[in-house]
């Protein structure tokens, strides 16, 4: 994690950070569309996967009531209690998600002996999220389009081409932003939830006995009758709670209360009614287990249902893609990923961003998933591991938060977290049985992402340490250089990642050009463990005398650094920053791989490759292109 104490202090000293803007009603509708797109489309495949998936069950009252009981109580304990009631309280200045939770714990506790382990947990959760971000669009869109087969068998050959066409179109429009399309999300999902709830009510009315499944005794009977079958079924039951992580991750967009209202009064009732309706239909007609979601509707309504469900899955996929962009930006700001080009697609909403590299890599991998797995049932096997792994890690981090930050008594933390860990662990273990049926994929993606994230963070720290080894104290430099070097007019800004010492670019400039500018600014950008830093706390200025100034710019991990704009806000001394009279000096390091203690040789080569392909500091910090001078140096790690 970056050195961010000062950024944290200025943020703590001012306000509560960022919070969602708008009326509760509007935010609730928006949350219904974006936050619950993933979990809202789970009925398309969750019940089907339990009974006809890789570990099929007999379609009889015991199994139907047992599965309904497991789904209902999983939604109650994991989503309603764990996420909606407890985790949404972990508010990092208005933001949520694994990295925000990690930053909140780090800032509140000051690190400590558990710091390194917590950072690794946060990185692991982020790595697993990328696996989820690839599988969600593939399984959601494919399961929706598979509904064409229930309309007519003649449509079956067109399922995969149609799914790929939809996915290509979805990723292609990302560069235009989601502002316009986003306004349609809420109304479409409101219609979708109303329709699936109505279909469920119609089926329940024909077979109200299915309501028995809400009794937890049926879950017990299911396990008592055949523990192994029930354990394996948990790997598919978990599909009913996929998307629960989005409740926390999207808190900054909509706020806690709109998310809670949308879940308790709209999404949860609609999902429960639909699952009960599917069970009621299967209780009457066991053969409908092949695709109970679509077969609940009459033949004349199936094509409109396919269209509506496809729109809902596009929205669910859009939410995950947007989430991937946000997570990548947070990781870059927190020093876990190299700088990457980010486009802003809205002048009003700072959170609406587009990252071309992430978008096209995701699209290629999602299409390969569809072509490789070919059926939503096969993809469902790969889906659960990433989701349950992230949930399990979140539960562990929550335990640290409750004990060390919220100061809950040990017995209360043990009881609550024990329940969460037991259920999350059971789900995760059950999904591991599908490791060779597709579950290997998210673990592979997670392992690759984890390696990249940790390699960059470690390599970056090593480079900083190597540069600091030969650094000269700034006060010594000022005394010696000011008496011997020739001074030239105007201002020079030297970008440096260290608060102390002389920037390498300044030493190289003096060595090669043998001059010092009239005014020399040593500038450091610090990213804090808070989402946003108030503008009045942005700039920290220290006058070191003899025309030297130390400037530290503070940003939150959800903000974008604009160095010229921040410098322009400095009032003293007069004319501190003049766009056409200021030169920016950057140091570009060339890494030399060595056997020095630090990282394995292959990781050093990987870090060097990542460094070469990172976006330039000039573009990342929005420096004027015609006022930048880069001075190279070699660093051995």
What are 368-416's pLDDT values in tens digits? Answer: 999 988 888 888 777 778 888 888 898 999 998 898 888 899 999 999 9
Do residues 41 and 316 touch, judged by C-beta distance below 8 A? yes
Residues 6 or more apart from 291 whose CB is under 8 A from it? Answer: 48, 146, 147, 149, 150
Residue-range definition of the domain harbouring residue 544:
472-636
Q: Domain for residue 9, yes or no?
A: no
Check whether 1 has a pLDDT greater than 50.
Answer: no
According to the model, what pLDDT value does residue 21 have? 55
Check whether 52 has a pLDDT greater than 70.
Answer: yes
Domain count, the chain: 2
| For range 433-445, the mean pLDDT | 85
For the CA atoms of the chain, what is the radius of gyration?
27
Q: What percent of the chain has pLDDT over 90?
A: 32
CATH of residue 291's domain is 1.20.1740.10
More confident residue, 321 or 272: 272
Q: Same domain, yes or no, for 511 and 444?
A: no
- Identify the weakest region by mean pLDDT among 384-388, 442-446, 610-614: 384-388
Q: Same domain, yes or no, for 407 and 498?
A: no
Check whether 577 has a pLDDT greater than 90.
Answer: no
**Rounded distance, CA 285 to CA 33, Å?**
32
| 3-state DSSP assignment of residue 90 | coil
| For range 44-61, the mean pLDDT | 90
Do residues 570 and 541 touch, judged by C-beta distance below 8 A? yes
Q: Same domain, yes or no, for 78 and 118?
A: yes
Sign of the Cα torsion 368, 373, 377, 381 reads: negative
Q: Same domain, yes or no, for 444 and 524?
A: no
**Rounded distance, CA 68 to CA 70, Å?**
5
**Rounded distance, CA 472 to CA 467, Å?**
10
Q: Domain for residue 467, yes or no?
A: no
Q: Which of 457, 486, 512 is the last residue of a domain?
A: 457
Check whether 113 has a pLDDT greater than 70.
Answer: no
Check whether 25 has a pLDDT greater than 90.
Answer: no
According to the model, what pLDDT value does residue 552 have? 92
Q: Same domain, yes or no, for 434 and 558?
A: no
Check whether 345 has a pLDDT greater than 80.
Answer: no
Q: Same domain, yes or no, for 539 and 443?
A: no
Q: Domain for residue 12, yes or no?
A: no
Q: Same domain, yes or no, for 548 and 424?
A: no
According to the model, what pLDDT value does residue 6 have? 43
Q: Same domain, yes or no, for 340 and 423?
A: yes
More confident residue, 577 or 179: 577
Q: Same domain, yes or no, for 438 and 517?
A: no
| For range 85-105, the mean pLDDT | 82
| DSSP states of 573-617 | STT---GGGEEEEEEEEEEE--SSSSS-HHHHHHHHHHHHHSPPH
- Identify the weakest region by mean pLDDT among 228-242, 267-281, 507-521: 507-521
According to the model, what pLDDT value does residue 29 have? 82
Angle at 331 between CA 326 and CA 337, to 5 degrees: 125
Mean pLDDT of the chain: 84
Check whether 478 has a pLDDT greater than 50.
Answer: yes
Q: Same domain, yes or no, for 511 and 623?
A: yes
| For range 424-428, the mean pLDDT | 91
Q: Domain for residue 8, yes or no?
A: no
Q: Which two tokens stand for residue 57?
A: 């069950």
Q: Domain for residue 16, yes or no?
A: no
- Identify the weakest region by mean pLDDT among 41-50, 128-137, 417-426, 544-553: 128-137
| For range 74-87, the mean pLDDT | 93
Q: Same domain, yes or no, for 450 and 533?
A: no
Cβ atoms within 10 Å, residue 627: 15
| 3-state DSSP assignment of residue 628 | strand
Check whether 427 has a pLDDT greater than 80.
Answer: yes
Q: Which of 398, 433, 457 is the last residue of a domain?
A: 457
Q: Domain for residue 187, yes or no?
A: yes
Q: Which of 413, 432, 457 is the last residue of a domain?
A: 457
* pTM reported for the whole predicted model: 0.80
Q: Same domain, yes or no, for 39 and 132?
A: yes
| For range 560-564, the mean pLDDT | 88
Q: Domain for residue 64, yes or no?
A: yes
Question: Confidence class of residue 117 from pLDDT cuts 50, 70 and 90?
Answer: confident
Q: Domain for residue 105, yes or no?
A: yes
| DSSP states of 332-345 | HHTTSS-----EE-
Do residues 341 and 355 touch, judged by C-beta distance below 8 A? yes
According to the model, what pLDDT value does residue 573 have? 62
| For range 78-105, the mean pLDDT | 85
């Amino acid at each position: 994690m970056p050195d961010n104490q000062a950024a944290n202090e200025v943020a703590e000293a001012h306000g509560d950070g960022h919070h969602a803007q708008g009326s509760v009603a509007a935010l609730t509708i928006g949350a219904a569309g974006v936050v619950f797109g993933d979990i809202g489309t789970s009925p398309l495949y969750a019940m089907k996967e339990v009974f006809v998936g890789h570990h099929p069950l007999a379609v009889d009252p015991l199994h139907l009531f047992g599965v309904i009981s497991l789904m209902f109580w999983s939604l109650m304990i994991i989503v309603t209690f764990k996420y909606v009631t407890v985790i949404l309280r972990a508010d990092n200045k208005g933001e949520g998600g694994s990295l925000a939770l990690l930053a909140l714990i780090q800032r509140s506790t000051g690190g400590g002996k558990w710091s390194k382990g917590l950072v690794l947990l946060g990185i692991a959760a982020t790595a697993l999220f990328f696996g989820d971000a690839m599988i969600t669009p593939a399984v959601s869109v494919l399961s929706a389009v598979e509904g064409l087969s229930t309309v007519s068998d003649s449509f079956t050959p067109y399922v995969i081409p149609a799914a790929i066409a939809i996915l290509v179109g979805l990723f292609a429009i990302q560069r235009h932003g989601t502002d316009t399309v986003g306004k349609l999300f809420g109304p479409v999902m409101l219609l979708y939830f109303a329709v699936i709830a109505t279909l469920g009510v119609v089926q329940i009315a024909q077979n109200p006995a299915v309501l028995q499944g809400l009794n937890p005794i049926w879950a017990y009977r299911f396990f008592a009758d055949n523990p192994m079958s029930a354990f394996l079924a948990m790997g598919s039951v978990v599909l009913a709670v996929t998307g629960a992580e989005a409740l926390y991750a999207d808190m900054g967009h909509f706020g806690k209360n709109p998310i809670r209202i949308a879940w308790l009064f709209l999404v949860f009732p609609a999902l429960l009614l639909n699952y009960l309706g599917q069970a009621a239909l299967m209780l009457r007609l066991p053969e409908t287990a092949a695709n109970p979601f679509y077969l609940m509707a009459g033949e004349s309504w199936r094509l409109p249902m396919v269209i509506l469900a496809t729109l809902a899955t596009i929205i669910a996929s859009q939410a995950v893609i947007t989430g991937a962009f946000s997570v990548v930006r947070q990781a870059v700001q927190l020093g876990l990923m190299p700088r990457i080009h980010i486009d802003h697609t809205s002048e009003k909403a700072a959170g609406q961003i587009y990252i071309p590299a992430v978008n096209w890599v995701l699209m290629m991998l999602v299409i390969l998933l569809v072509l490789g797995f070919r059926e939503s049932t096969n993809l469902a096997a790969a889906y659960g591991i990433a989701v349950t792994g992230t949930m399990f890690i979140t539960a562990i981090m929550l335990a640290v938060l409750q004990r060390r930050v919220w100061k809950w008594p040990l017995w209360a933390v043990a009881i609550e977290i024990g329940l969460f860990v037991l259920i999350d662990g059971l789900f995760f273990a059950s999904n591991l049985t599908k490791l060779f049926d597709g579950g290997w994929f998210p673990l592979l993606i997670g392992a690759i992402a984890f390696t990249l994230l940790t390699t960059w963070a470690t390599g970056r720290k090593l480079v900083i340490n190597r540069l600091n080894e030969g650094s000269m104290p700034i006060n010594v430099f000022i005394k010696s250089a000011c008496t011997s070097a020739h001074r030239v007019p105007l201002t020079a800004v030297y970008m440096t990642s260290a608060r102390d010492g002389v920037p390498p670019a300044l030493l190289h400039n003096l060595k090669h050009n043998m001059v010092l500018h009239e005014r020399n600014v040593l500038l450091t950008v610090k990213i804090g463990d808070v989402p946003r830093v108030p503008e009045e706390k942005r700039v920290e200025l220290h006058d070191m005398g003899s025309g030297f100034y130390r400037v530290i710019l503070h940003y939150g991990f959800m903000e974008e650094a604009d160095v010229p704009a921040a410098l322009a806000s400095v009032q003293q001394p007069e004319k501190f920053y003049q766009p056409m009279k200021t030169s920016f000096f950057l140091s570009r390091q060339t890494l030399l791989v060595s056997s020095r203690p630090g990282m394995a040789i292959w990781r050093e080569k990987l870090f060097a490759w990542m460094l070469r392909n990172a976006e330039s500091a000039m573009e990342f910090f929005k420096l004027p292109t015609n006022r930048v001078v880069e001075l190279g140096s070699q660093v051995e790690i």
